[in-house]
A and B are shown apart, each in its own frame.
Chain A
């Protein structure tokens, strides 16, 4: 379970990196398309087509952020119950909360653009937290697997 926990936490970090790349790739494509004379308005955004290939970046960002990352964070949380490592649940909860906050900031950012800036900042917090949650599994002590009197306190 510790390995599963570690892998899932790394996946969250990787996915945050993918999100950043997808968003910037898409915005660059949008800029290039507008430079070439393309016109963007709501009617185009709601249309079925892909006026420029980097639109895929927006789609990837949306699907990852709405479904994939919350799904991984949920699996991480469930895995943490079985990991039997001190602090595993705590860090999985923090990752999960940051994911939920990240989603809300993302949706709200379309209305209040300053919130979108926080979406970017929270992404860094999530990336760092997920990475830490994964890496601490290498050194973290098992919890409550042995009787408490035999347990050795490890400073974290």
Chain B
């Protein structure tokens, strides 16, 4: 063995230098990953203009904040529904941190004493007013109208569009329900435990003409502390019906992961995530992947042979529609999924994806590193960890009438997304992408629309 004779001082110093060489980068990475206890999402991450040079003259004063050339020209709190219009639908909700009374439910939170909270019904075009009062949720609470386009100040994203409502506080949400479909509402403050623990409910907006089916059934599938439920009960949902009747089953998945839904007989997928499917055909032998936070309106027909129609939600629970006492065994789970990109017939989009003016990459990955001072294998966006995530920036519409296909910014709709192609995505990546897309939120604070994705870097979180 060759031994190199080192000066004594170096021999003594070498172990310390080697230790420093290991610990210094780790300490620096740990230190750099910490975030202050309070910070503004406006200062977070880096702006991504989608390949377009930013027109800074549009950003109010030439003032730059931490690399973000956005200066609010108007406050989010001004983006509200017509304050003079009386409400058509009024709902009072009281949030409590407690287990529901008189039930074996495993919920940790309730709205008006139950979980899920009361179902909110509206007819398209009605103005909905929900008065939320926080009686005992110590971490504060908000309500977010998942999938529904509402004025920005009413979107219920704590820390972005409003402050969380503290214990003893209240907030009134007002919005016009301008889309007919199946939606849900949930707290958007400390969402992971609050939604998993029960702060959510169903929101159904029916068209003015009503629905054509004889039965209209809402079914929220939720897992409380490992227990599968439908509408809060750990048992099948029984819906009495006569043979030949058609039912619209509004399935909602309020869990953090996707679940499979299939039926004992043929079904039609009338709507997905609050949007109607154009000319939905009859489906047999295919199961539907209901993504996290997703909704699917299925039409099933009760058989005339005395059995029931059974809509299976994973193999755990089911919606059973038919004569009382009618039995239908658990249908075998189809091996193949319904492909939503080819289902139905094409309908006009209202825009041409081939002529997009800005293009953004959103690459979900995982890499080791520190997030908020904690080491781990974290989700990354475009290779970056939280909070260094891209803030997608697009120009707002000109509010002048007739120049914009969308309403003026005061009622700017949430950027819903359309998946144009998924050929290069695996099933898992597709599911991840579709749930991420549904989680974009936005804040309008000038003529710029800012689509921000503030906290995707936790391994498991429901952040819509």
Contacts and interface: CB of A to CB of B under 8 A. Distances in A.
Interface of A: 39, 41-52, 55, 66-67, 74, 77-78, 81-82, 86, 103, 107, 144, 148, 153
Interface string B84-99: 0000000000000000
Interface in B310-358: 314-316
Given A46-B256, A47-B255, A66 B376 contact: yes
B11 interface: yes
A81 B18 contact: yes
Given A42-B259, A43-B256, A144-B11, A49 B460 contact: no
A63 B193 CA distance: 20
Interface in B184-224: 192-193, 196-197, 221, 223-224
Contact of A51 (B1, B192, B227): B227
B257 interface: yes
B224 A42 contact: no
A48 B225 contact: yes
Given A81-B18, A81-B19, A144-B3, A49 B227 contact: yes
A41 B257 contact: yes
Given A42-B258, A43-B314, A107-B366, A51 B226 contact: yes
A49 B19 contact: no
A43 B258 contact: yes
B257 A49 contact: no
Interface in B223-274: 223-228, 253, 255-260
A147 B282 CA distance: 87
21 contacts: A39-B315, A41-B258, A43-B258, A43-B259, A44-B228, A45-B257, A46-B255, A47-B226, A49-B106, A49-B225, A51-B227, A67-B375, A78-B19, A78-B22, A81-B15, A86-B1, A103-B368, A107-B366, A107-B377, A144-B11, A148-B5
A43 B255 contact: yes
Nearest to B256: A46
B376 A46 contact: no
Interface in B281-326: 292, 314-316
Contacts of B292: 43, 46
B22 A47 contact: no
B404 interface: no
A46 B225 contact: no
B223 A74 contact: no
B314 A50 contact: no
B19 A47 contact: no
Contacts of B5: 148
A47 B227 CA distance: 9
A94 to B, nearest CB: 16
A60 to B, nearest CB: 16
Given A74-B22, A144-B11, A44 B223 contact: yes
Contact of A44 (B18, B226, B366, B460): B226
Contacts of A86: 1
Contacts of B255: 43-44, 46-47
B2 to A, nearest CB: 10
B14 interface: yes
Contacts of A144: 3, 11
B459 to A, nearest CB: 10
A106 B320 CA distance: 41
B226 A66 contact: no
A50 B257 contact: no
Contacts of B460: 46
Interface centre among A39, A48, A74, A86 (most CB of B within 10 A): A48
